[in-house]
Structure 1
Amino acid sequence: MKTVSAQWEATILICRKCSRKLGGGFGKNGRKSLAKALRAKGIGGKGRKAGVGIAEVGCLDICPKNGVVAMNAANPGTWLIVPKGADIDKVAERLGFGDDRGASRKP
């Protein structure tokens, strides 16, 4: 086996099925997915060179109506159900990333 290093200091997991069913609902115009809205805020990025990884994963079997399930992998006991149109700043704070924390810092 071969290993590949990543620069991630934290990982955010977002249910891909919830995001797809919702069809957006976040960001300035309400057209972005939760993952894209968090990246636009500066939390996370694409690829293994980002400070924080945002990974869309398969169904987490909660399936809320008009919401998306998200969790910080550093705190696997707390899952967050994010309603459509939620304030991204508040979502970031609940996931462990306050206003003073950027993409390259730990939650």
Structure 2
Amino acid sequence: MIRHLPSGWEDAVVICGKCSKKLSGGFGDRGRLSLAKALRKRLGLAKGRKAAIGIVETKCLGVCPKRAVVVGRAGGWLVVPEGTEVDRVAAELGLGEAQ
């Protein structure tokens, strides 16, 4: 039987886990956070289905840029170079402050 569970997500962002793992961080104030963790922190989001915006790390997305992370969202992909300001990434994704 298929069941529906409420997520509470207004939007969802997919981040390549393989790219993130290769960089061993690269984002945040000191460059020690993964992009997913840095975005969650910047937007004030919790993990899981109760967050306002779903930020999910997946397996390899098949793009594999050097020293960058692939981010997917409905309508397109972003290749985010290591060390890019998290505010700029959030703006490129059209993500404002979490509610």
User: Smaller-chain TM-score range?
Assistant: over 0.9
Give SS of 1:6's match.
Answer: coil
Asked if the contact 1:69/1:82 (under 8 Å) is kept, the reply is yes
Greater than 2 Å deviation, 4+ residue runs: none
CA displacement, residues 23-75 of structure 1 (integer Å, 9 cap, x when unaligned): 100000000000000011016431111100001111111100000000223x2
Indicate the RMSD between aligned Cα atoms, in angstroms: 1.2
Give SS of 1:48's match.
Answer: coil
- Equivalent in the alignment of 2:62: 61
Aligned residue among 81, 96, 103 for 2:98: 103
Percent of pairs with identical residues: 50
Q: 1:51 is aligned with what amino acid?
A: A
- Equivalent in the alignment of 1:48: 49
Tell me how far apart the structure 2 counterparts of residues 63 and 36 of structure 1 sit (CA, whole Å). 20
Asked if the contact 1:72/1:96 (under 8 Å) is kept, the reply is no
Asked if the contact 1:45/1:54 (under 8 Å) is kept, the reply is no
Tell me how far apart the structure 2 counterparts of residues 82 and 45 of structure 1 sit (CA, whole Å). 22
Q: Where in structure 2 are the equivalents of 1:70-89 lying within 5 Å? A: 70-73=71-74, 75=75, 78-89=76-87
Asked if the contact 1:43/1:52 (under 8 Å) is kept, the reply is no
Tell me how far apart the structure 1 counterparts of residues 88 and 44 of structure 2 sit (CA, whole Å). 13
Change over 3 Å in CA distance of 1:72–1:43 after alignment to 2:
farther
Give the structure-2-normalised TM-score.
0.92
The number of residue pairs the alignment matches comes to 98
- Extract unaligned runs of 5+ from structure 2: none
Q: 1:89 is aligned with what amino acid?
A: D
